[in-house]
Amino acid sequence: MDQDILLGTYVFGLAIFLGLEVINRVPSTLHTPLMSGTNAIHGIVLLGGLLVIGPADGILNDVLLVIAIAFGTINVIGGFLVTDRMLGMFKGKKPDPKRDAVKEPV
């Protein structure tokens, strides 16, 4: 059991370090596609949480899974909102019809 915890801690620490290194090296032009891909991965994680909650035993497991599903849902929705806002910055402004209307001489 102690070796499993040690191995899990080692893998978790390595994943944090690797994730920070990868994210820090992403150019700004690739940030929006990376964000969309991350949202898709979080959707898969959310689906996994929903599948695991059925056969879970015990109230502690149920509470932790509900918290994880809630945070996952917030993360997915927030990620898509941020991505949509970032993509909106690349769209051109729509012309104002009132401003561009030709005024008739009086």
pLDDT in tens, 45-77: 888 888 888 888 889 988 888 898 898 888 888
Position 86 in a domain = yes
Q: Which domain holds residue 82?
A: 28-91
Q: Is the pTM of this model over 0.95?
A: no
What distances in angstroms separate CA 20 from CA 15, 16, 25, 100, one per listed residue?
8, 6, 9, 48
pLDDT of 11 over the 90 cut = yes
For position 24, what pLDDT does the model report? Answer: 83
Position 5 in a domain = no
For position 6, what pLDDT does the model report? Answer: 92
Confidence band (pLDDT; 50, 70, 90) for 96? low
Position 101 in a domain = no
- What's the number of domains the chain is made of? 1
Position 69 in a domain = yes
Q: Per the structure block, which two tokens stand in for 92? A: 């051109």
Give the helix/strand (H/E) hosting 64: helix 59-88
Position 67 in a domain = yes
Q: Per the structure block, which two tokens stand in for 71? A: 């945070």
For position 46, what pLDDT does the model report? Answer: 87
